[in-house]
Amino acid sequence: MIQQGNISVSTENIFPIIKKFLYSDHDIFLRELISNAVDATQKLQTLSRIGDVKGELGETKIEIVLDEAAGTITVKDKGLGMTAEEINKYINQVAFSGAKEFVEKYNDKLEQNQIIGHFGLGFYSAFMVASKVEIITKSFKTDEAAKWSCDGSTTYTIEEDPRTDRGTDIILYINDESKEFLDKLKIQNILSKFCKFLPVEIEFDGKIINNPKPIWKQKPTELTTEDYEKFYNELYPFSEPPLFWIHLNVEVPFNLNGILYFPKVKPDVEPQRNKIQLYSNQVFVTDDVKDVVPEFLMLLHGVIDSPDIPLNVSRSYLQGDARVKQVNQYITRKVADKLDEMFRNEREVYENKWESINLFVKYGMISEEKFAEKARKFCLLTDIQDANYTIDEYLEKVKPLQTDKDKKVVFLYTNDPTKQHAYIVNVERRGYNVLNLNGMLDNHFVQHLETKVENITLKRVDADTLDKLVDKDEKPVSLLGEDEEKNLKELFESKIANTAYSVETKALNTDDDFITITKPEFEQRMKTMSQMGGMSFYGAMPDTYKVQVNTNHPLASRVLKDTDDDSKAKIIMQSIDLAKLSQGTLQGEELTNFIKRSVEMI
C-alpha cells in the first residue's frame, strides 16, 4: 500500500531556504546523517542492555556506500529502525515542524553560521546536496519495512518495502550542483574530519575509519604516558611530543571530557591557534573554541567533548550560555591546579619546561584575574644567569640592595641581553641582579607585575635608574672641582647639537664608563608598545636621552686639560658615539662620521 501526503508547511520555499542557509558548510550533511545513525544504534544497544530488545544484536557498525555510477550516497545503520507510523511522526511532523520554526524565525534575517541545532533539522540537511532522498527502514519491533521518498518538495510517499533486516538506509541522489560529493577522496576527508572518534564503528570503502574508544573517554588511571603521546601523534602527526597534558573529566554541574596538551613553544616560531577540537558525544563540532576555552589557553592542543554543547553552535550561543561559561572556568581552574601541582612536586622538571610554559602562564596572569591569583605561586622569573625564582622569592632576594629612595624594590630587567650587554655588565658590577624579560608578552607582563605586586617597580637596565637605588657602599667623591664639573658639562652641551640629549655630570668609580646614555623608563615602554601596535600616539613622540658624564674617569681630566679645541671635540664626539654604538643606536651619517673619525685618530 502506498501512502501519499503533503507536509503541512505554509512556506512553500522551505527547501531552498534549508539548502542555502541551514549550514554554511555543506559537508555537514554527512555528519548529521551519521550522527542520527549513531544515535539509533546507541539507543538500540541501551534497550538491549535493559532487556527491552531480545536476542543477540549482531553487527552494529554503520556503513557509508558511495555509488558514483548511480550518483548516490547511502548511510546504512543497524540501529532501532522505524515503523511507517514513526516515519510520519519523526520525519513528516517533528522534523518539519522544526523546519517551519526555522523558516519563521530566520526567513527575514537569515545569517550563515547563526543556526542553533534545536530545530530538529539534521535529517533535512540531506537536501542541501540531494535532489531526492529515500529512507528504507525496518523497526526492531515489527516485521514490516517501509520506504519514504521525497524529491525536495512538500510532497512525500510512504510504501511497504521487502527489507528484512533491522535498521535504516538513507539514500541521497546527489544533485547536479553537488557532484563533488561523489568523489571518494572528498568523502574520506569529510569522514576523517567529522567522524574520526564516533562511538560506533564507521565503515567506508571496506575499512573502519574511526576510533570508537578515544582515550579521553577512558579513566586516567587506565592510561600510560605512551597512550597519551600516541593519541597526541594521532591528532597531530609529525609534531614534537607535548610537554605534559591535563585529562578533563567532570559530570556535575555539566558533562565534560577531554585532554589538553601543552605543546612545545619555540621563541622564534609563531604559536599556532585553533588546535583544540570541540566534540559533542564524540561528534566533531568545530576547532574554533573561543569562549569555550579561555583566551590565554587557545594555544593549547587537544580535545574537549561535551554533550551539553549542541552540534550546530553559533557564536552568540557560546558567548551567552551559562554552561559554556562554567566549562571555561573549569578549564582555567584545572590548568592552574595542574601547574601548581607540577611546581610543588617536580620543581626541577617544571623549571626545565618553563621556557615553553611561561607564555601560557604570563598570558593567563595578564588576562584572567582568578588565574593570576593562583599563578603567583608558580610563575617564575628568570635572571640572565638562568636562575629561576618565584615572584616572592625574587622579591626577598633583591630587596636588601635594590630598594630605591621611595622604599620600592626595583626589579632591573633586560628585554634584549645582546643589545644591552654593556648596561648589564655595569649593574652587575655593583652587585645588582638583572631579570631576562625578552619574551613576546613581557612588556605587558612588566606592567602586570607593577600593578599586582605591592611595593615594587621595574626598570630596564638602560634606563636612568642606578642613581635612585640605595647603594650601601660609600659614594665616590668627584675628583673635579665644582667649576671644572660645570665646564665639562658645558663642553659636552656645546658639542651635542641634538636637543633630544640632555647632559649631566656624576661622580662614579674610575673604572665605570666615561659616557652612559640612558632613556626614561616610561618612554622605553611606550616605544615598545607602539612597535607591538595600537600605540601610534606614543610611537610618534620624539626620543629623549640623558648623557651621563663620569667626572672621575681619566678622560674627564684629559678633556679639560686639552688645549687643542679640535682634539677636545673629537674626544667628546668619539666618547658619545662609542656609547651609542654599545647600545646599537649609532647609524646612518653618525656611524659614517664615527668610522672616519676613528681612522683619523688612529
445-457: per-residue pLDDT in tens?
999 999 999 999 9
Q: Mean pLDDT throughout 135-140?
A: 95
Query: Does pLDDT of 191 surpass 90?
Result: yes
Q: Beta strands of 179-242 (E only): which ranges? A: 202-204, 207-208
* pLDDT at residue 15 in the model: 61
Among the listed residues 121, 130, 168, 122, the one whose alpha carbon sits nearest the alpha carbon of residue 148 = 168
Query: Does pLDDT of 158 surpass 80?
Result: yes
**112 CB-near residues (< 8 Å, 6+ apart):** 21, 23, 24
- 19 vs 230, which has greater pLDDT? 230
The rounded distance, in Å, linking the Cα atoms of 170 and 147 is 10
- What's phi and psi for 303, nearest 5 deg? -135, 140
Mean of all residue pLDDT scores within the chain: 84
The rounded distance, in Å, linking the Cα atoms of 245 and 335 is 9
Q: Are 143 and 163 in contact (CB under 8 A)?
A: no
Confidence of residue 119 (pLDDT cuts 50, 70, 90): very low
Q: Mean pLDDT throughout 510-528?
A: 77
Confidence of residue 70 (pLDDT cuts 50, 70, 90): very high
Strand 434-436's sheet: what is its strand order? Answer: 434-436, 409-414, 456-460
- 336 vs 10, which has greater pLDDT? 336
Q: Beta strands of 287-437 (E only): which ranges? A: 301-305, 380-382, 388-390, 409-414, 434-436
* pLDDT at residue 441 in the model: 87
Query: Does pLDDT of 348 surpass 70?
Result: yes
- Percent residues over pLDDT 90 in the chain: 40
Beta strands 2-6; 155-161: pairing state: antiparallel
* pLDDT at residue 107 in the model: 54
Its CATH class, for the domain covering 482-518+541-601, is mainly alpha
Query: Does pLDDT of 188 surpass 90?
Result: yes
Query: Does pLDDT of 154 surpass 70?
Result: yes
SS3 57: coil
For the chain, first and last CA: distance in Å?
A: 111
Query: Does pLDDT of 220 surpass 50?
Result: yes
- What's phi and psi for 151, nearest 5 deg? -100, 20
Query: Does pLDDT of 558 surpass 50?
Result: yes
Strand 515-518's sheet: what is its strand order? Answer: 501-506, 545-550, 515-518
* pLDDT at residue 8 in the model: 53
SS3 148: strand
Q: Beta strands of 216-300 (E only): which ranges? A: 244-250, 256-262, 275-280, 283-286
The rounded distance, in Å, linking the Cα atoms of 217 and 415 is 44
Query: Does pLDDT of 402 surpass 50?
Result: yes
pLDDT digits (tens, 9 = 90+) for 5-21: 665 544 455 566 555 55
Among the listed residues 209, 372, 214, the one whose alpha carbon sits nearest the alpha carbon of residue 281 = 214
Q: Mean pLDDT throughout 60-79?
A: 96
pLDDT digits (tens, 9 = 90+) for 232-288: 998 998 888 999 999 998 887 788 999 999 998 776 556 566 689 988 888 888 888
The CATH 1.20.120.790 portion of the chain extends over 482-518+541-601
Among the listed residues 128, 205, 131, 126, the one whose alpha carbon sits nearest the alpha carbon of residue 170 = 126
The CATH 3.30.230.80 portion of the chain extends over 215-347
Q: From residue 450, give the alpha-carbon distance in Å to each of 361, 423, 457, 470, 532.
A: 17, 22, 6, 19, 20
215-347: CATH number = 3.30.230.80
Confidence of residue 298 (pLDDT cuts 50, 70, 90): confident
CATH architecture, range 379-468: 3-Layer(aba) Sandwich (3.40)
Q: Mean pLDDT throughout 128-143?
A: 93
Q: Which of 108-117, 313-322, 376-385, 396-405 has the highest mean pLDDT?
A: 376-385
Select from 3.40.190.10, 3.30.565.10, 3.40.50.10420, 3.30.450.40 the CATH code of 2-208.
3.30.565.10
Query: Does pLDDT of 537 surpass 60?
Result: no
Q: Beta strands of 296-376 (E only): which ranges? A: 301-305
SS3 451: helix
Dihedral sign for Cα atoms in the order 501, 504, 507, 510: positive
338 burial type by CB count under 10 A (0-12 exposed, 13-18 middle, 19+ buried) = middle
Residue type, 479: L
- 245 vs 294, which has greater pLDDT? 245
* pLDDT at residue 22 in the model: 53
Q: Are 82 and 137 in contact (CB under 8 A)?
A: yes
- What's phi and psi for 247, nearest 5 deg? -95, 115
Q: Residue 268 region, left (φ>0) first, then alpha (ψ -120 to 50), else beta?
A: alpha
Confidence of residue 108 (pLDDT cuts 50, 70, 90): low
Q: Which of 66-70, 140-144, 558-562 has the highest mean pLDDT?
A: 66-70
* pLDDT at residue 316 in the model: 55
The CATH 3.30.565.10 portion of the chain extends over 2-208
Of the candidate ranges 133-147, 435-449, 496-510, the one whose mean pLDDT is the lowest: 496-510
Of the candidate ranges 233-247, 474-488, 550-564, the one whose mean pLDDT is the lowest: 474-488
DSSP state of 445: H
Query: Does pLDDT of 117 surpass 50?
Result: no
Confidence of residue 130 (pLDDT cuts 50, 70, 90): very high
The rounded distance, in Å, linking the Cα atoms of 218 and 232 is 15
Q: Mean pLDDT throughout 98-122?
A: 48
